[in-house]
Structure 1
Amino acid sequence: MDRLVGWDRLPTPFGLATLFGLRLRLRDRNLHDTSGLPAVNTPPLEAPSARHLVNRTADGSYNDLDDPAMGMAGSRFGRNIPLACIAPATESEVLTPNPREVSRALLTRTSFVPATTVNSLVAAWLQFVIRDWFSHGTSPTEDPWVVPLAADDPWMQPPMRIMRTPDDPTRPPGATDLPQTRVNVLSHWWDASQIYGVSADEQKGIRTGKAGKLLPLPDDPAKDPSRVPGFWLGTEMMRTLFTREHNAICDRLRAEYPTWPDEELFQRARLVNAALIAKIHTVEWTPAVISHPTTKAALRANWFGLEGERVQRLFGRLTDSEAVSGIPGGKADHYGVPYSLTEEFVAVYRMHPLIRDHWHLRHVADDSTARDCDFRDLAGPNALPVLNDIGMADLLYSFGTLHPGLVTLHNFPRHLQEFRRPDGNFQDLAATDILRSRELGVPRYNEFRRLLGLAPAKDFHDLTGNPEWAEEIDHMYRDIENVDLMIGLFAERLPAGFAFSDTAFRIFILMASRRLNSDRFLTDYYTPAVYTQAGLDWVADNSMSTVLLRHHPQLRSSLASVVNAFAPWTTSGV
């Protein structure tokens, strides 16, 4: 049905059935384990303890009590393709065609193309949750990829150097016969590690030590977050908001359990906050960016099942079936493959076009101008004066009333093509994104589609409905089989209501549910005994809108008529 008609062209009930079938097929064919490959110097596990039954560990270990290293920080990324299909990272493979030329010719934002159905909190949220999910770590400074530059290229620091992804430290030396692998330095679980860190030392540095609460910022000035690559205003706004939410959860739990010590309040509040973030992403963020009627129903079914939220509130889970009653509170299931995030999941989340170049920041009270900024004014240490001078409610209002960019060709932020890192070096993130997928062995577009059970593009005109783009891609690649995954994702026709591609959506179909299915704290242990009934009620009763209004009630008029907080807000005075 998907091939003949397309899931998005079917009536919603048939489209839902088709998506469920696709998920079953993808679970069967597109989960591939790297954890069984030979490994050395694997991350140490702390000794098992009774607290592991009911607390998330800092590093993600002991989520699966039978396989405590599964998904922990420092474990390998999995794959959604057979390991034999991982392309080798040879110089020819990584540098052909030239990633800088691809960036300039196909990705440069000639004029801003907005995604008009959503607001810029979509971009801030995505960068925020990515910092929970995956990171390949800090690149070594030696032996970078050297990218040749055209004679007319205005690059500030010729030649262009792009640091390599760190090698897999668990790969046995000399194991050239094994497929290349990398490790995720973050926990693979949906555990809000972008707030809580992935080590005991990181957690100690963010806690007040009283009533389970968190500090607004780490207490060590040497750990200035604005100096970490990737820091910008949007991610800091979200981190601050959900730090405050953690503290509000602590207040609620302390009112219910006044004798609880700091550690107990912290651990329960962390569980609740992480689950709330997972819920917001599942039933609000994702349906906002892929707002097709079928996908909105499917994503809500991931959380509430086909029985729906109202029935679940009245009667609880009706069955053990995830299709009927949703994944949270059901049975954990790895579908025969140890859980991990995958390199292909990383690749499809490269959505930098969501970020605007120009930001008109305004006051929520009357929509008057607070400051006009370029993105460089909001990134790294440059963001601190903005954070200090403009109130958080005004910043949230500005993001809520500004559109992000559409994830498409010729819409990559110019400021990210000449991004100045905290260390003073410049980086073309568009060229880097292209190079990274090649370096990590992610297949090119057509092969990627084949491995997901999709028909490949026959030619450049079949790839995209835009004849001008087809000619430009042909000029760059010459052979349709050479087209990079990201270029194909950005060029292909979008289903109605989608801000990104249907091909990328296939990885979402598989991995969005898998992150819930495999996590015992969102399945078997999603119970009052672990969370408390007050904690489960907090997750059930709250949304992105209620979180925003709890901490910034002056946003009420802008959110009053908005069903989803990631949709465009009402402008003050309108």
Structure 2
Amino acid sequence: MVNSEPRSRGYRDTPPWRLFTALTEIVDRLVGWDRLPVPLGVLELIGVRTKLRQDNLHDTSHLPAVNTPPVPDYSPEFLVNRTADGSYNDLREPAMGMAGSRFGRNIPLAKVVPPDKAAVLSPNPREISRALLTRTSFVPAGPVNSLVAAWLQFMIRDWFSHGTGPTENPWEVPLAEDDPWPERPMHIMRTRTDPTRPAGREDLPPTTVNVLTHWWDGSQIYGITPDEQQFLRSGSDGKLRVLDNGLLPMPDDPAADPARVPGFWLGAELLRTVFALEHNAICDRLREQYRSWSDEELFQRARLVNSALLAKIHTVEWTPAVISHPTTVAALRANWFGIAGERVQRLFGRIADSEVISGIPGGKTDHYGVPFSLTEEFVAVYRMHPLIRDTWHFRSAATDETLLDCEFPDIAGANAVKVLNTIDMTDLLYSFGTLPPGLVTLHNFPKHLQEFHRPDGHVQDLAATDILRSRELGVPRYNEFRRLLHLAPAADFHALTGNPHWAEEISKAYHGKIEDVDLTVGMLAERRPEGFAFSDTAFRVFVLMASRRLNSDRFFTEYYTPAVYTQTGLDWIRDNSMLTVLTRHYPGLRPALSGLTNAFAAWPVRP
């Protein structure tokens, strides 16, 4: 086993900082950041993030590798343009974060457990799915709307994918006698093996690669290859292709059709359409200002602006909506604007080099001693399928009359395209805005995802798959995960959850072994801070990785300048929000949105 690994060292490693992080760790365990007044809570989270940056960034890119994706030859335009494959974001390490590079880890590589068959299948993931995750009745998350669920899937299609797993040699999951599953045993495809791992190096910790770029670059809109971009672009004025009906074109080649990819559904395609239109609106604004610019120049500037707007919306709108504790709202806004605040930034710009004072955008690029990548633990905590509803009620934005009542399969895969072509986008967005998503908790997994009919004909229990996948990828079980993130483990099942009935159910499912409880189950069962739609354990990974995605990306830091974006582009990012995006392209939504300050909050139903 390779034990030496690059990790963050020396970051804020001075006596005052060591004292501060030690104190915040004690307070975190004894009191909790969420029980402190907001100013103290924000300071507590700064200490938590500092400790995580010091101890929980672990590099896999230094491990021996073969068949790594080729890095394009350098071209001067890479200095100011995002490449399709994510290369050259870091000019000194051009392969960092590009498509086909490895996921990193938030735990030491020595703690990454290889996928032993007995450990992966025990306790039986299908039985855990049935006993603890099955939605017995819909538990809504409030006060937010189903655009929260759509946005998350829309973002994930930008951030990470392990690719399509091989069909041969699947995991075989035994089934109970009373299990109605249509095949015996249940088959769950394995994660695609790491094509860069040298043959015969079983001593290396298991790693996997990200099919997508690791950067926050809007690749779900723009593609990750030149061929994909060529299909998506109109070839005129920098714009993307949009059909006369306001929808996006689908490729004629079935192999390239996104509707045939598992996970394609109406919510994610709605938002891809919205932000393709936003890209084109940015092109129009830039064209007004810079009439001599070429199609390529307009496309590249608009892509930068649109990607940064997505990152801003996620940071200061989506995330505060789903973790709406006053402390986290303040901390997330500080990530973007600094503690000096939005008003100071609007009036004076950055007033200090410090990200704490003036926010991350426009500050210094910093990898904290470890090459940037998204991590397997980041993927694991984003398994939030309970956000998805089973039943959907589509209504008119103008009259609130019913247009369609349906189930989730009716808006997934090719069926999503049919709905897009029969119901107006304004009405679809209004319906998403007025329907609550599910709470990320036990016994609230969508029934249609527990028996998900994939476009390739396979039937999949995504709840069982979520459990198995974290085990397969070496993500620690709940208690060990918490220890490695400097949190106290659950002493017993009643300490794990405040629900005595759940404690008994979990104990039975895990045969009384608290250390065997899976990360997903523990996160769904634990006490949530006030205003949270998901767990505090998951939040710890966000504290670390949400800011890191901004800190490491030079297009959000040192290159976030008028010379690269144009002042017009920076003004667009500053002045816009999800509310302005929606009303710009779908003015019929203005009545529903008129009283809101956050588009992810529950929309009022038309009287």
Q: TM-score, normalised by structure 1?
A: 0.99
Aligned twin of 1:370:
403
Q: Secondary structure at the residue paired with 1:123?
A: helix
Task: Find the aligned partners of 1:59 and 1:162 in 2 and give their Cα distance.
Answer: 30
Task: Find the aligned partners of 1:249 and 1:154 in 2 and give their Cα distance.
Answer: 52
Pairing of 1:317-336 with structure 2 (within 5 A)? 317-336=350-369
Cα offsets for 1:413-445 (capped at 9, x unmatched):
000001100011100000000000000000000
Task: Find the aligned partners of 2:308 and 2:416 in 1 and give their Cα distance.
Answer: 29
Q: Secondary structure at the residue paired with 1:254?
A: helix
Displacement after TM superposition at 1:219 (Å):
6.0
Task: Find the aligned partners of 2:303 and 2:142 in 1 and give their Cα distance.
Answer: 34
- Is the 1:70–1:339 Cα contact (8 Å) retained in structure 2? yes
Q: Which of 498, 502, 524 is residue 536 of structure 2 equivalent to?
A: 502
The reply on whether 1:280 has 2:313 as its aligned counterpart is yes
Aligned twin of 2:231:
205
The reply on whether 1:58 has 2:81 as its aligned counterpart is no
Cα offsets for 1:290-324 (capped at 9, x unmatched):
00000000000000000100110000000000000
Task: Find the aligned partners of 1:139 and 1:496 in 2 and give their Cα distance.
Answer: 38
Task: Find the aligned partners of 2:196 and 2:417 in 1 and give their Cα distance.
Answer: 38
Q: Which of 271, 288, 300 is residue 255 of structure 1 equivalent to?
A: 288
Aligned twin of 2:571:
537
- Is the 2:364–2:558 Cα contact (8 Å) retained in structure 1? yes
Aligned twin of 2:559:
525
- Is the 2:84–2:224 Cα contact (8 Å) retained in structure 1? yes
Q: Which amino acid aligns with 1:179?
A: P
Pairing of 1:336-347 with structure 2 (within 5 A)? 336-347=369-380
Q: Which amino acid aligns with 1:396?
A: L
Task: Find the aligned partners of 1:292 and 1:377 in 2 and give their Cα distance.
Answer: 35
Higher alpha-carbon deviation: 13-22 or 208-217: 208-217
Displacement after TM superposition at 1:229 (Å):
1.1
Q: Secondary structure at the residue paired with 1:539?
A: helix
Displacement after TM superposition at 1:264 (Å):
0.3
Displacement after TM superposition at 1:267 (Å):
0.3
Displacement after TM superposition at 1:160 (Å):
0.9
Q: Which of 452, 465, 471 is residue 438 of structure 1 equivalent to?
A: 471
Displacement after TM superposition at 1:224 (Å):
2.0
Task: Find the aligned partners of 1:501 and 1:131 in 2 and give their Cα distance.
Answer: 22
Aligned twin of 1:220:
251
Task: Find the aligned partners of 1:9 and 1:124 in 2 and give their Cα distance.
Answer: 31
Q: Secondary structure at the residue paired with 2:28?
A: coil
Cα offsets for 1:466-496 (capped at 9, x unmatched):
0000000000112000000000000000000
Q: Which of 279, 282, 305 is residue 246 of structure 1 equivalent to?
A: 279
Aligned twin of 2:197:
171
- Is the 2:159–2:215 Cα contact (8 Å) retained in structure 1? yes
Aligned twin of 2:75:
49
Task: Find the aligned partners of 2:166 and 2:386 in 1 and give their Cα distance.
Answer: 27
- Is the 2:250–2:257 Cα contact (8 Å) retained in structure 1? no
Q: Secondary structure at the residue paired with 1:399?
A: helix
Aligned twin of 2:348:
315
Displacement after TM superposition at 1:572 (Å):
1.1
The reply on whether 1:294 has 2:327 as its aligned counterpart is yes
Task: Find the aligned partners of 2:146 and 2:596 in 1 and give their Cα distance.
Answer: 15
Aligned twin of 2:60:
34
Aligned twin of 1:351:
384
Aligned twin of 2:30:
4
The reply on whether 1:306 has 2:339 as its aligned counterpart is yes
Give the length in aligned residue pairs: 573
Displacement after TM superposition at 1:218 (Å):
4.5
Task: Find the aligned partners of 2:251 and 2:114 in 1 and give their Cα distance.
Answer: 42
- Is the 1:557–1:570 Cα contact (8 Å) retained in structure 2? no
Task: Find the aligned partners of 2:30 and 2:478 in 1 and give their Cα distance.
Answer: 21
Cα RMSD of the aligned pairs, angstroms, is 0.7
Displacement after TM superposition at 1:464 (Å):
0.1
Task: Find the aligned partners of 1:276 and 1:348 in 2 and give their Cα distance.
Answer: 24
Displacement after TM superposition at 1:157 (Å):
2.7
Pairing of 1:452-467 with structure 2 (within 5 A)? 452-467=485-500
Aligned twin of 1:102:
128
Q: Secondary structure at the residue paired with 2:559?
A: coil
- Is the 1:205–1:219 Cα contact (8 Å) retained in structure 2? no
Displacement after TM superposition at 1:159 (Å):
2.1
Task: Find the aligned partners of 2:451 and 2:577 in 1 and give their Cα distance.
Answer: 36
Aligned twin of 2:222:
196
Cα offsets for 1:440-463 (capped at 9, x unmatched):
000000000000000000000000
Task: Find the aligned partners of 2:489 and 2:502 in 1 and give their Cα distance.
Answer: 18
Displacement after TM superposition at 1:67 (Å):
0.5
Aligned twin of 1:549:
583
Task: Find the aligned partners of 2:300 and 2:409 in 1 and give their Cα distance.
Answer: 37
- Is the 2:467–2:518 Cα contact (8 Å) retained in structure 1? yes
Q: Which runs of 5+ in 1 are unaligned?
A: none
Task: Find the aligned partners of 2:530 and 2:170 in 1 and give their Cα distance.
Answer: 41
Aligned twin of 1:135:
161
- Is the 1:45–1:61 Cα contact (8 Å) retained in structure 2? yes
Displacement after TM superposition at 1:117 (Å):
1.2
Pairing of 1:54-133 with structure 2 (within 5 A)? 54-133=80-159
Higher alpha-carbon deviation: 222-231 or 31-40: 222-231
- Is the 2:250–2:258 Cα contact (8 Å) retained in structure 1? no
Task: Find the aligned partners of 1:192 and 1:220 in 2 and give their Cα distance.
Answer: 19
Q: Secondary structure at the residue paired with 2:392?
A: strand
